[in-house]
Chain A
Amino acid sequence: MKSYIQDIERALYDVRDEDKSVYKSDAGLTEEIIRDISTRKKDPSWMLDFRLKSLEVYKKISLPTWGPDISELNMNEIVTYVKPNAKQVNDWSQVPDEIKNTFDRLGIPAAEKKSLAGVGAQYDSEVVYHSIQKRLTDLGVVYTDMETALVEHEDIVREYFMTLVPPKDHKFAALHGAVWSGGSFVYVPAGVDVKIPLQSYFRLNAAGAGQFEHTLIIVEPGAKLHFIEGCSAPRYNVTNLHAGCVELFVKEGARLRYSTIENWSRNMMNLNTKRALVEKNALVEWVSGSFGSHVSMLYPCSVLHGEGARAEFTGVTFAGKGQNLDTGAIVVHAAPNTSANINTRTISKSGGSATYRSAVKVTKNAPFAKCSVNCESLMLDDQSRSDTLPVMDIEGDEADIGHEAKIGRISEEAVFYLMARGISESEARAMIVRGFVEPIAKELPLEYAVEMNNLINLELEGQL
């Protein structure tokens, strides 16, 4: 008899559609390709310049020398731009059937009816659906795809775009600056409370392609927003690349909750950059679930820029067979009395590798900074790996920094305790794993929490 936690049920995500894109860029990265993408996207000229400069930066920077091995990624093989055969609409009935079916399977239109104030859906490189409740547009809230924003709100985009994550930041930020396409733009005017969440869903269908969506969110003083991002892709035998970029500007006294569930297929290199600039007395809350991809490097960063700014990071990572998920969080305390909480759980099984990596920096401008880090890892078998690599760099005075890390296995005594109450061994183990991620699960949007519980499914073989 043997009990095990099943791999994440991927069948739902793995249904791939026939590639019916109307245009694909050549594989690889050259000035010609960038110019071509820019022309097709009808960029303003400053954006073309931005792309070309980013390309120059990209050529100069080398790959990171730390973290998981990404040498199998061959940029000469990645198709950076795939235009789906669909125009962007705001009515699901006008979305081409195959594409709509995909989003139906993922439950997006149903969720929109039930619990969302706005939805964006991106398929390969372009957004195919976007909608927002009229109530919100009347209040001045903007929720649209980046391309539309570039036309209708060019000044705002130009003021903020890649100022928080500049192309020179690292190789994939530079790549993003050169080839970005799609993504979401949200603008919440001062004092507006967007009570119901907005959700963007990113789906990469084409094989051997990259997805480089850009998300730019500006929450003006005193405003409130919950933004949900979901990602998935079917599985191919060639490597796909996701190098998105998320920039969040949370102004004085504003609150932004940013929830992500990432369930990319197991051929995906997920090298995503997310950063928030948090002003005086503002709050950013990250809720992050990483389940998919072959390799992930993802460390959402909160820059606590104004006095009393706060960040909360809640993350769960589940690495199964063949996965190397390197995730964590970064906090920069750059003003007095700033505070942050980092709370993560990682699970590894069947030879998967999960690394928790964090960096907390307290600058000398940040007296009385408070930061507490709690990361716990659970290895479900002997083949799996788990590491925690927290880095602290404290310059500010009177900093109050706490760190707690635990790496462990399922307690056999706890399994015995539950079995002594009549609960089967497999159910006991599942309960313990679910209990382990419970503090995180309760922060996830409901449908994703249910999904995560389903993921932690247990099966008992040879039970009497």
Chain B
Amino acid sequence: MLDIKNLHVKADNKEILRGVNLNVGKGEIHVILGPNGSGKSTLMNVILGHPKYEITGGEIFFEGEDLTALKTFERARRGIFLSFQNPEEIPGITVENMLRTAKQAVTGTKIKILQFHKELLALMKELQISPEYASRYMNVGFSGGEKKRNEILQLLVLNPKLALLDETDSGLDVDAVEIVSQGVAKFHNENNSCIIITHNAQILKHLPVNRAHIFLNGQIVKSGGAELVSEVSERGYAPFEVES
């Protein structure tokens, strides 16, 4: 589904990604583990074509199509979704309005207002977001945890083929991580894929992880099975630094 080959990326003339290789198949869940500042968020942003990053080498394919020529919204319409590490606040645009507009954009069909409203409220209930948040402005005044649950709400509404979750569990209390984890489990099936960036095994509780990757210094230095997650929580990244 996603195939990244020898990707090199610069921002502000600084090399951030130094040859990333990653292949995520249909139905798979991959985990990326890596210290702060290693370039994980950059990789997510580049997959969606953030204008601040310059690709200096390598390729990104999504379902066989070269993504690099596409604009961000075109990539989203192909079925890629990013749960942002730091979701933006957008004053004056309500959660419901934005999501309806987005849903219309990705499905290319007109969405009925009332029916959408019902579906949205049902999903909000599952994520334990209180209904008045539908008419609040996007992320404005939301707590860190509320913003993250709101990202998962968007994931469930837009139902993409590939979900990129960038530290969606960071800063959440145990119960909130559980809600997020169940939300992702609800989303996932054999036809879609996830890349989950995390520092914490708890979010993976309900998820069948296929592969885990250690990300250091702009590169994947080691890949393996789910067991890497517990290895990192026990021993940190130091052993992998030696390996790299």
Q: How far is the CA of A434 from the CA of B90 in the complex (A)?
A: 11
The verdict on A402 contacting chain B, using a C-beta distance below 8 Å, is: no
- Are the C-beta atoms of A425 and B71 separated by less than 8 Å? yes
CB distance from B179 to the nearest CB of A (A): 21
B183 shortest CB reach to chain A, Å: 17
Chain A residues within 8 Å of B51, by CB: 412, 416
Residue of A413, A431, A438 near B98 (CB, 8 A) is A431
Separation in Å of the B166 CB from the closest CB of chain A? 11
Asked if B154 is an interface residue, CB under 8 A from chain A, the answer is yes
Give the distance in Å from the alpha carbon of A419 to the alpha carbon of B72 in the complex.
6
Report B63-90 residues with CB < 8 Å from chain A CB: 71-74, 76-77, 81-82, 84, 87-90
Least CB separation from A345: chain B residue: B92
Residues on the A chain within 8 Å of B22, using CB: none
Using A412-B51, A416-B72, A435-B137 as known contacts, say yes or no to A422 and B91 having CB atoms under 8 A apart: no
- Beta-carbon nearest neighbor of B50 in chain A: A416
- Distance of B62 from chain A, by nearest CB (Å): 14
How many whole Å from A417's CB to the nearest CB in chain B?
A: 4
Partner of A435, one of B50, B76, B92: B92
How far, in angstroms, from A431 to B71 measured CA to CA in the complex? Answer: 18
Cα A431 to Cα B99 with chains together (Å): 12
Q: A420-B72, A423-B105 are in contact. Are A432 and B158 (CB under 8 A)?
A: no
A418 at interface (Cβ–Cβ under 8 A)?
A: yes
- Residues of A407-464 at the interface with B, using a CB-CB cut-off of 8 Å, are 411-414, 416-425, 427-428, 431-432, 434-439, 464
Interface string of B99-138 (1 = CB under 8 A from A): 1011001100000000000000000000000000000010
Interface residues on B, range: 20 to 34
> Are B92 and A434 in contact, with the CB atoms below 8 A?
yes
How many residue pairs between the two chains, A and B, have CB atoms under 8 Å in the bound complex?
82
User: What's the Cα separation between A420 and B82 when bound, in Å?
Assistant: 7
A434's nearest neighbour on chain B, judged by CB, is B92
The answer to the question of B48 belonging to the interface, with a C-beta cut-off of 8 Å to chain A, is yes
Contact in complex: B102, A432 (CB < 8 Å): no
Taking a contact as CB atoms under 8 Å apart, the answer to whether A423 and B101 are in contact is yes
Q: Which of B1-57 contact A (CB under 8 A)?
A: 48, 50-51
Determine the chain B residues whose CB is within 8 A of the CB of A413 once the complex forms.
88
Q: Is the CB of A418 within 8 A of B92?
A: no
Which of A417, A419, A420 has the largest number of chain B CB atoms within 10 A? A420
Interface status of B176 (Cβ within 8 A of chain A): no
A79 to B87, CA, bound (A): 57
B73 touches A417 (CB 8 A): no
Q: Which residues of B contact A436 (CB under 8 A)?
A: 91-92
Q: Considering only CB atoms, which chain A residue lies closest to B93 in the complex?
A: A435
**Complex alpha-carbon distance, A411 and B87, angstroms:** 13
List CB contacts (< 8 Å) of B124-164 with chain A. 137, 154, 158
CA distance A411 to B98 in the complex (A): 16
A316 to B53 Cα, complex, angstroms? 36
Given contacts A417-B84, A421-B154, contact A438 B106 (CB under 8 A): no
In the complex, which of the residues B48, B74, B98 contacts A464, with contact meaning CB atoms closer than 8 Å?
B74
How many whole Å from B162's CB to the nearest CB in chain A?
12
* Interfacial chain A residues near B81, Cβ < 8 Å: 420-421
Complex interface: chain A residues within 8 A of B93 (CB):
431-432, 434-435, 438
Q: Say yes or no: A422-B90 contact (C-beta < 8 A), given A416-B50, A431-B98.
A: no
Partner of B73, one of A411, A425, A432, A439: A425
Min distance, Cβ A463 to any Cβ of chain B, angstroms: 9
For A414, the chain B residues whose CB sits under 8 A away are 88-90
Q: Are B92 and A422 in contact (CB under 8 A)?
A: no
Question: Which B residues are CB-close (under 8 A) to A437?
Answer: 92
Per-residue contact bits, chain A 373-416, to B (CB 8 Å; 1 contact, 0 not): 00000000000000000000000000000000000000111101
With both beta carbons as reference points, the residue of chain B lying nearest to A437 in the complex is identified as B92
In the complex, A38→B42 CA distance in Å?
Answer: 74
Contact at A431–B101, with CB atoms within 8 Å? yes
Most buried by A among B90, B99, B101: B90
- A418 and B106: CB pair below 8 A? no
Name A432's closest neighbour in chain B (CB-CB): B90
Nearest residue (CB) in A for B84 is A417
Determine which residue in A416, A425, A428, A434 has the highest number of CB atoms from chain B within 10 A of its CB, and name it: A416
A421 touches B92 (CB 8 A): no
Q: Quote the shortest CB–CB distance from A370 to chain B (angstroms).
A: 23
Q: Find A438's partner among B71, B92, B101 (CB 8 Å cutoff).
A: B92
Pick 29 A–B contacts, CB within 8 A, sort by A: A411-B88, A413-B88, A414-B89, A414-B90, A416-B88, A417-B84, A417-B87, A417-B88, A419-B71, A419-B72, A419-B76, A420-B48, A420-B81, A421-B73, A421-B98, A421-B105, A422-B102, A422-B105, A422-B106, A423-B101, A425-B72, A425-B73, A428-B73, A431-B93, A432-B93, A434-B92, A435-B91, A436-B91, A436-B92
**Beyond known contacts A416-B51, A422-B73: 5 more, CB 8 A cutoff:** A416-B50, A417-B84, A421-B73, A435-B90, A439-B92
Closest 4 CB pairs of A and B: A435-B92, A438-B92, A421-B102, A422-B105
